[in-house]
Amino acid sequence: MSPRKNILLLCPDEMKATALGCYGQTQPVSPFIDRLAGKSVRFEQCHTVHPKCSPSRAALVTGQYPHVGGHRTLDLLVRPHEINLVRELRDAGYETALFGKNHTATPETLAAMFDRHEPDRGRHTLENPSHPSPVGSYCVGQEPAPREEFRDSGNTDAAMRWLRSDRDETKPFFAWVNWNSPHPPYGVPAPFYGQIDRASVDLPPKDDPSTKAPYQRALGQAYGMDAMTAADWREMIATYLEMTRFIDAEVERICGFLEETGLSQDTLVVIWSDHGDFAGEHQLPEKWDTSFYDCITRVPLIIHDPDEAEGKTIPALVESIDVMPTLLERVGAEVPRGVQGQSLQPLIRGEVAAIRDVVFCQGGQEPEMFDRVVPPDGKPRPCHAYQLKQEALYRTPEINIRTKMIRGERWKYIYHLNGFEELYDLESDPHEIQNLANDPDHATTREKLRLRLMRKLIEAETVEPYQDYLES
């Protein structure tokens, strides 16, 4: 087995695991990824450690929980002093490149990470006033730009150009391709739009926001979700899945390129997403910082290693911070001190059946931020739906209060800093409809999970700066 493999990291934005057939999706939207998963290692229960783009990506790069570096929201990016997967690979002799949006590192850090960065190009419609669904649905429908001019297609094209002719062929490469789809607004170019029969789309179970965290009611009201008809919900869900179908085609395109150019036998292909999307579940669109439903935290993680002849599915609980040490170990690079993630190689090799009993996720802001909320019209928003989202936060800042989650194989427990609790029995209630936190029949379970969360918070504390001695 050769340790110095190339690494191709493919990152669709906001793709929940269940959008893919290999994770249970019944609509035929991911035929290529499903086939690839069949000859790869697929992690059945990979969970992000933050439900927002930049903090999640920062955690992937650093191998640390977001709070260690203060990565609480979009603008708090990885800084030069932090542990960094890409910089470790570059120092180990890899040529590195990023295609698509950054969303991870400060400009100074980005320059130390990548030999090449080609940002988003091409067209992407963010709003369609003529779409019949309510404006808060984020629905665009068919993207007017043809596929070849669509922004995400351009990122694939740029990556393939670099791989073909612009890289140093004497070095192994690390190439990170960021696609915006299936992140809202929900829109996709032809021929993908309309591929799913709307009548065939199953609607998710109805939730009761009166028993849930306040953000659900606030967002539903701000977006005008009461005005959504069954046809509107099916349009949203179908378009999200068609965006997934588009990503499947892009994965097939770049993997086919690897085959054509003879790179496939020397390249690890990793498919991962930063977080999921409601896409109609719990009667909401998009995501929220303090929502930890599985549709938000559970993401695909598929690692295709050409040296492994057979595929396998690993049911163990894993976190996105585990990707960093896993890749470094696989290519023979040293894992730096301070990494909190655990290498998944022992799971892959079959040496252990599990590496943790719970996964951990965090989000939200400290109460001191609540008097600093930017007014909805205080800065330009990508589309009107995002302005409605900001209006909900502006009216009720407490919906974004700091929150922590632990999830085991059966139980999920969530604690919001204002004292609100959530408890779900994933065995009997996989859609997380019934909040059992105040059910006296489950008081003992709640108390056990409270203590487990307390212990997890201690376990997740930073060990930096490194200390090589201990004195009284």
- Per-residue pLDDT of 87-103, as tens digits, reads 999 999 999 999 999 99
Considering only CA atoms, which of 99, 47, 66, 128 is closest in space to residue 406?
Answer: 47
State what percent of residues in the chain have pLDDT above 90: 96
Using the CB atoms, write b or e for 30-40: b if 16+ within 10 Å: bebbbebbeeb
Q: Residue 430: pLDDT band by 50, 70, 90 thresholds?
A: very high
Q: Which domains does the chain have, with CATH numbers?
A: 6-354 (3.40.720.10), 367-459 (3.30.1120)
Q: Dump pLDDT digits (tens) for 153-183.
A: 999 999 999 999 999 999 999 999 999 999 9
Phi, psi of 351 (to 5 degrees): -80, -30
2 pLDDT more than 80? no
420 exposed, middle or buried (CB, 10 Å; 0-12, 13-18, 19+)?
Answer: middle
- In angstroms, what CA-CA distances link 300 with 73, 416, 429? 22, 26, 21
Per-residue confidence (pLDDT) for residue 3, from 0 to 100: 54
Among 69-78, 157-166, 461-470, the least confident range: 461-470
Write the single-letter amino acid at 440. P
Residue 26: helix, strand or coil by DSSP?
A: coil
Overall pTM surpassing 0.75 (yes/no): yes
Q: Dump pLDDT digits (tens) for 241-288.
A: 999 999 999 999 999 999 999 999 999 999 999 999 999 999 999 999
Among 197-206, 232-241, 373-382, the least confident range: 373-382
Q: Residue 1: pLDDT band by 50, 70, 90 thresholds?
A: very low
Instruction: State the chain's mean pLDDT as an integer.
Output: 96
Considering only CA atoms, which of 414, 456, 462, 405 is closest in space to residue 435?
Answer: 414
